[in-house]
Structure 1
Amino acid sequence: MEIKKDILWRSYLCLIGMGIFAVAIVGRVVFLQQVEGNYWRNMSDSLHTAYMDLDADRGTIYSEEGRMLSTSIPYFDIRIDFKADGLRDKKKNYFKENVDSLSRALANLFMDRSAAEYKKILQEGYKDKDRYFLLKRDIRFDQYQQLRAFPLFRLGRNKGGLIVETKNKRINPFKLLANRTIGLARTNSQNVGLENTYDEWLSGVTGKRLMRRIAGGTYMPVEGYDIEPENGKDVITTLDVNMQDIVETALMRMMVQNECVHGTAILMEVKTGKLKAIANLGRQPDGSYWEDMNHAIQKGEPGSTFKLATMIALLEDGYITPNTMVDLNYGRWPINRRVVYDSEPHHLTNVTVKHAFERSSNVAMAKLVYQYYQKKPNEFSAHLRKLGLDAPTGVDLVGEGKPMIKTTANKSWSATTLPWMAFGYEVTQTPLHTAMLYNAVANGGKMMKPYLVNSIQEYGQPVKNFEPTVVMDSICSSRTLAALKDMLEGVVLKGTATKLQTPYYRFAGKTGTALIADGKRGYADKIYQSSFAGYFPADDPQYTCVVVIRNKPHAAKFYGGSVAGPVFREVADKLYALAVKKPRNLAGAVGGLDSSMAMKGGKGSEWRSVAATLGLPYNGPLTSSNWVSADVKGNKLAFEPVKQQSGTVPDVKGMGLKDALYLLENAGLRVVIRGAGKVTTQSLPGGTNIGKEQTIIIELS
């Protein structure tokens, strides 16, 4: 009996112990979840870290004379760490002492909330001990500068809790000007224009930042664990802002006046192939115009400007001369159940080939090509292919349309394909192809590749240069070239462009008027494409200009000479007055970029201040007493001390005028200045002993 009681007592004791232990476990679980839950959840979150991308500063796109065409400007997100040591210091009480004045300052700066409202949200963040409290998004640099001096924030991150996150937004300072050619740098969609082509250079190398996950699923940066990004390089284009403005303005004037659908105008430097301006305008639903598509590289049927290529084939094969007679049939020629019409009505019959070209006769071109190539049509196509009209130009823009020159192997080849090709139908090419061909005639037969970028630079120093490229040394014989030039001038003097003549200079070109199809409606709406291609001045060509404009249906004015021609004439007039008649370097030199890219020697302390303000890495001593020469080496600014010995001529090469004058005049020299910019040469070498009343000549560029 005693044994049984002993066993039961021990069993009850174990049961009671297990019950107490179970209750303790349940109590601890409840305590952890309900009382200390937030603490342990935050602790768990703090153990989660990850490296996140740190975007590099995107490079800037410049015009040839150094103006910014596309650049990134900084915007800032402002956050507060309400668990910063200073804010939680009970002895100093920084937050309570500064919250009122900070709220007033924020209200005055942003003017979107009252001081009381700002105070309320700041107090809520402080109460919640939010480590990554978002105060304001996307503030400008000038606002950020003011905000840094506000109460509490001027104490810095550890005491004031200020967290600043920098991000960049891409802008085109000139807005419409060459907008589509320069392109857009977009985060969530495909870049276009030069922003796309040179994205690898512009974007730089992404860095890394260690981020710690905190409550709420957000991340905050961990200081001291950044892998700095490598900023993008700068792109120096061939574009000229002044010329672009002239071309864009002339095109816009005609587009608005004639309510055109879309148009493009290309300006090309004859000797080099540099594209100085590309304007693209499309009509928007509200009637305004914008650079919505790069029509300069979109392919289509060129129309009568293509007759230049036809003439090259006929003249080169020796089938005709400019004085060969051709019957225009009063502007109407039936062939294979279709009829070729001249775009402008007339009553002409037998005329010379030169006169037929000047009058832009479709009948003449179709008859001649059909007469000499009907038994060997691929020979005519071969001429066109030899001129490069079947391949992209290779311009540094993504999305260039691939042209088409038909042969008998094409499924769409028909009995009328050959004669229609003669005057620019049943072939496709871009306006840039037209510009390249006409530019070759202007350039003495030498065909140049069109291009848009002079160089890639870093801190003003070239990383990669692009030079003019010859595509073809000669597109034809000298005899054919002379005939072509004479005929192109004849178009202006006594052909379809006589109304464009000017007494001040001569230019050459060709009009084009093409009826184009409008989808399923075909040709019923009478939509015409007006074009003009030419160069100026005729006796010493400097620029080639091509204008192509699509008119609205049933437009009252649609001939190439009256729609596209005036745009060409306005561009030629202004550029002749500015850059041809009175030669001056409108485009400047690549070395003449603005001060943001110029590297000059100077006072060490001033360079130190610049490097610190802009956050630029550098090597070399920079003190308040030394003078240095500046360069870029290994992605860093590199400074070398400039030796200055008493009684000797200072070496001021590479310095700006202010610093050079200071050193030279303090050394007792009389200074004669030539040029502007930074010192390139000095008449007395550095280290030379100085004589009495000695003069030194410094040249700047």
Structure 2
Amino acid sequence: MAIKNDNRSNILFRYGFVVFWILVLSACIVVQLAETTVVNAEKWNHKADSLLSMSQDIIPRRGNILASDGSVLATNLNYYTARIDYRAEKFNVKKLRENIDELSEALAANFPEKDAAKWKHYLLKPLEKEKDRRPRAYRILTNLSHADMELLKTLPYFKGNRNRTGLYFEKNMRRFNPYGNMARRSIGGVGETSESKEIHGISGLEKALDSLLYGRTGTTRKVNLTKDIADLAKIPAIPGCDIVTTIDIGMQDIVESELNNVLDSCGADWGVAVLMDVRTGDIKAISNLELNPNGPGYIEARNRAVMGYEPGSVIKTLSMMIAVEDGIVNELGGLDRVLPTGNGWAYAGGRPITDSHHTTGIRVGDVIEQSSNIGMARIITSRYDSNPGGFYSRIKEIGFLEPLNTGIAGEVVPRVDSVPSDRGGRIALSRQCYGYATEIPPLYTLALYNAIANDGVFVRPRLVKELRGSVDSVLQPSYLGNGRACSPQTAAVMREMLTNVVWGEHGTGRFLRNQDVRIAGKTGTCYMIENGQYNTGKKRLAFCGFFPAEAPMFSCVVLTCHPTKNFFGAATTSGQVMRNIAMKLYSRGMLGNSSDYNTSSPSSIGPTFYASVSGNDPYRHLRTPFALPNRKSIKGPKTSGPGVPDVRGLSAREAVDVLESNGYDVTISGSGFVNTQTPSPRSAVSPGHTVHLSLSR
């Protein structure tokens, strides 16, 4: 009986012990609950509110930059980096070793950065370390497209449970230019700015129109759900607008190619060319090339079209236009009045003004044709001798000094000084009127010549014509000054003078004559300033004009800096670029002319898709952008041989280069790569005939 009592006491003691600690624990919970909900309620409520009030920025989608036909010049693309976590919880080492040979072969076939042996060594190398020292983010491939990523997931070993393979992907968005360096400086680039770590434009249109392209940043808010706290959009991000430029891809290709060819021929330091539509002021093409400091050839460089330079004789056209418009020429006796020139003219006691070609006298109407400094100075000073600053006022009145606001970053306005009414001012005036002591961006010179081609209508050059976004907006052409640089009658007189520069008996641009496209324009030569002095060994050569001369459709300005071989004149360098551009536009039917090729039945068989790039591995170059299937090699087209070269499968630029180098003219329809050509490949057609190319993607 005593034993039973002892057991009962033992059990009761244990129960009492457990109940005691339960009561103690319950008391602690009650105390803590009271402390949390009553004593420290304000503290925890504040902490909850601060957590729920946390927000993050939502980065908007950046708008695209488009060519005039809607072709994409700059857009956003997602790229991926493939990595392997060799310490993943269920990483299957045995399966990797079993599949390594098959996996290495597949990687070598689809991603030939390494051969199969190197891939095998690369993938097994982390396994040489102890398990806890193996990498968690071992990089396999970078810059993968979405198609590449999906392909990688299907390869041996990677196919299946990714937690067992350790494979994962990092996504990053990059700005992509499908046409490479075409008009790259005008399009611009993006990156981190000093003001913001977000991605914004840092050059070109990307910078000038950044507020439109970037859109508006959104924000998130925290929402307390049953099992979690989630982020929901509080203010949605507004995507950036798409910018439709005036750039014509075909014309841009021509301008870049011809500028590059001439620069290479004459060994110049740099060059710039701009092509503009006469009626609308649309910049159809713009190219800025300079010697590659890190290798051969020329690369896209600073946008010199909007930078100020001494213009040289191309600005005589502005002075002569004012003289004709304001009646100065009539006051002198008309265009047939002969002005004395001689060896020089020391106006206002300054250093004598001279001409490159000595004559005893020159007709007023021939001053532009023969590019006479003395003649131009005599004409302008006859009106502004007593008021040199009046010439500046007249230039300003026209609208020539207004900002163009083209959207090109780095744009500056011309520097033409308002000189005082004294001897120094008179001497400065006599130099300003033929291009010295001023700084004028090439785009302003082009706008003036374009006005003359456009019957005096002073249209503003523009690079943007439409915005596409939440609200579409078509931008209409705008004008400088009061909309007119001169009257239609003055414009007609100036067009005749500029035509005589090329077609006149003593024109400085006689080299540019051709029977297909009549060109009108003006040459300009200027010594470069170094260390405050003119360096007579370095010249900057310009040609500005329009074509066809009888019914202008396009205006163009070209600058060439310091040619070192073969060609050293303004007409043979800058002028030659403009002539070649005009001829290419004509040969492709872009000047309103009809094509003259003979029609025949095109082949119904599509072309082999060629890798039209140099190097030993063209497949690698094309695989990512075109998401090509698993192919180890791609043949190149046979462009040599008898008859018309076979250019099917080439890009438009390469096909035209092959055909034109063989003496054929070329017309093009469609976009992408050459699908058919007429006449057909190897046809016995002699050089000089036109070959029509049909392109498709």
TM-score of Structure 1 vs Structure 2, range by shorter chain: 0.5 to 0.7
Report what 1:68 is aligned to: 72
Report what 2:402 is aligned to: 391
**Are the equivalent residues in 1 in contact too, given 2:84–2:140 (CA < 8 A)?**
no
Report what 1:487 is aligned to: 497
Report what 2:306 is aligned to: 297
Determine if the alignment matches structure 1 residue 436 to structure 2 residue 417: no
Query: Quick one: which of 86, 91, 95 aligns to 2:92?
Result: 95
Report what 1:147 is aligned to: 152
Report what 1:337 is aligned to: 350
* Pair 1:274–1:355, CA change in 2 (3 A): same
Secondary structure class of the residue paired with 2:521: strand
Residues 294-326 of structure 1, C-alpha deviation per residue, up to 9 Å, x if partnerless? 111110111111111111222222121452524
Residues 146-184 of structure 1, C-alpha deviation per residue, up to 9 Å, x if partnerless? 222245654466676543221123333333321211112
* Pair 1:155–1:256, CA change in 2 (3 A): same
Query: Quick one: which of 261, 281, 286 aligns to 1:278?
Result: 286
Residues 463-489 of structure 1, C-alpha deviation per residue, up to 9 Å, x if partnerless? 332221133432222332222122112
How far 1:65 sits from its partner (Å)? 2.3
CA–CA distance in structure 1, aligned partners of residues 175 and 421 of structure 2: 46
Report what 2:33 is aligned to: none
CA–CA distance in structure 1, aligned partners of residues 463 and 338 of structure 2: 42
Determine if the alignment matches structure 1 residue 165 to structure 2 residue 175: no
Q: Which runs of 5 or more structure 2 residues have no equivalent in the other structure? A: 1-50, 195-200, 223-227, 596-669, 672-697
* Pair 1:95–1:300, CA change in 2 (3 A): same
**Are the equivalent residues in 1 in contact too, given 2:310–2:435 (CA < 8 A)?**
yes
**Are the equivalent residues in 2 in contact too, given 1:448–1:470 (CA < 8 A)?**
yes
**Are the equivalent residues in 2 in contact too, given 1:180–1:293 (CA < 8 A)?**
yes
Aligned residues: 515
Secondary structure class of the residue paired with 1:517: strand
* Pair 1:129–1:438, CA change in 2 (3 A): same
CA–CA distance in structure 2, aligned partners of residues 373 and 163 of structure 1: 76
How far 1:271 sits from its partner (Å)? 0.7
CA–CA distance in structure 1, aligned partners of residues 497 and 441 of structure 2: 23
Superposition map of 1:91-490 within 5 A: 95-96=92-93, 98-101=95-98, 103-104=100-101, 107-108=104-105, 109=107, 111=114, 113-115=118-120, 117-119=122-124, 121=126, 127=132, 133-136=137-140, 138-141=142-145, 142-150=147-155, 153-155=158-160, 162-187=167-192, 191-204=202-215, 225=231, 231-285=239-293, 286-321=295-330, 322-330=334-342, 332-335=344-347, 336-342=349-355, 344-346=356-358, 348-408=359-419, 414-458=425-469, 463-471=472-480, 472-490=482-500
Which residue identity does 2:66 align to in structure 1?
Y
CA–CA distance in structure 2, aligned partners of residues 384 and 173 of structure 1: 42
Report what 1:503 is aligned to: 515
Superposition map of 1:627-638 within 5 A: none
Which residue identity does 2:325 align to in structure 1?
E
Report what 1:24 is aligned to: none
Superposition map of 1:28-107 within 5 A: 56-79=60-83, 87-88=89-90, 95-96=92-93, 98-101=95-98, 103-104=100-101, 107=104
Which residue identity does 2:168 align to in structure 1?
I
**Are the equivalent residues in 2 in contact too, given 1:156–1:162 (CA < 8 A)?**
no
**Are the equivalent residues in 1 in contact too, given 2:81–2:144 (CA < 8 A)?**
no
Secondary structure class of the residue paired with 2:342: helix
**Are the equivalent residues in 2 in contact too, given 1:60–1:202 (CA < 8 A)?**
yes
How far 1:99 sits from its partner (Å)? 2.9
Determine if the alignment matches structure 1 residue 518 to structure 2 residue 515: no
How far 1:104 sits from its partner (Å)? 4.7
* Pair 1:534–1:224, CA change in 2 (3 A): same
**Are the equivalent residues in 1 in contact too, given 2:389–2:421 (CA < 8 A)?**
no
How far 1:543 sits from its partner (Å)? 0.4
**Are the equivalent residues in 2 in contact too, given 1:512–1:559 (CA < 8 A)?**
no
Report what 2:590 is aligned to: 579
CA–CA distance in structure 2, aligned partners of residues 416 and 338 of structure 1: 9
Secondary structure class of the residue paired with 1:396: coil
Which residue identity does 1:72 align to in structure 2?
N
Q: What's the TM-score, normalizing by structure 1?
A: 0.66
Which residue identity does 2:75 align to in structure 1?
T
* Pair 1:412–1:373, CA change in 2 (3 A): closer
Query: Quick one: which of 568, 578, 581 aligns to 1:568?
Result: 578
**Are the equivalent residues in 1 in contact too, given 2:381–2:430 (CA < 8 A)?**
yes
Residues 443-462 of structure 1, C-alpha deviation per residue, up to 9 Å, x if partnerless? 1111111111222335xx97
CA–CA distance in structure 2, aligned partners of residues 125 and 411 of structure 1: 88
**Are the equivalent residues in 2 in contact too, given 1:325–1:350 (CA < 8 A)?**
no
Residues 535-589 of structure 1, C-alpha deviation per residue, up to 9 Å, x if partnerless? 1112221100111111247x674332222111111111222332114269xxxxx
Report what 2:541 is aligned to: 530
Which residue identity does 1:490 align to in structure 2?
N
Q: Which runs of 5 or more structure 1 residues have no equivalent in the other structure? A: 1-47, 89-93, 212-221, 585-675, 678-701
**Are the equivalent residues in 2 in contact too, given 1:455–1:462 (CA < 8 A)?**
no
Secondary structure class of the residue paired with 1:499: helix
Report what 1:633 is aligned to: none
Q: What's the TM-score, normalizing by structure 2?
A: 0.66
* Pair 1:557–1:369, CA change in 2 (3 A): same
* Pair 1:545–1:201, CA change in 2 (3 A): same
Residues 498-530 of structure 1, C-alpha deviation per residue, up to 9 Å, x if partnerless? 22122234332111122232235x224422221
CA–CA distance in structure 2, aligned partners of residues 296 and 166 of structure 1: 38
How far 1:356 sits from its partner (Å)? 1.8
Report percent identity of matched pairs: 30
* Pair 1:538–1:449, CA change in 2 (3 A): same
CA–CA distance in structure 2, aligned partners of residues 263 and 450 of structure 1: 20
* Pair 1:512–1:160, CA change in 2 (3 A): same
* Pair 1:307–1:124, CA change in 2 (3 A): same
How far 1:399 sits from its partner (Å)? 0.5
Report what 1:634 is aligned to: none
How far 1:363 sits from its partner (Å)? 0.5
* Pair 1:170–1:125, CA change in 2 (3 A): farther
Residues 327-383 of structure 1, C-alpha deviation per residue, up to 9 Å, x if partnerless? 2423522232301121x323x233321112211100001112122211011221111
Secondary structure class of the residue paired with 1:416: helix
How far 1:532 sits from its partner (Å)? 1.1
Which residue identity does 2:450 align to in structure 1?
N
Secondary structure class of the residue paired with 2:439: coil
* Pair 1:157–1:208, CA change in 2 (3 A): farther
* Pair 1:410–1:378, CA change in 2 (3 A): closer
**Are the equivalent residues in 2 in contact too, given 1:266–1:432 (CA < 8 A)?**
yes
CA–CA distance in structure 1, aligned partners of residues 246 and 230 of structure 2: 42
How far 1:120 sits from its partner (Å)? 5.2
* Pair 1:126–1:542, CA change in 2 (3 A): farther
Residues 405-432 of structure 1, C-alpha deviation per residue, up to 9 Å, x if partnerless? 2113599964410100110111211000
Which residue identity does 1:245 align to in structure 2?
D
Secondary structure class of the residue paired with 1:513: strand
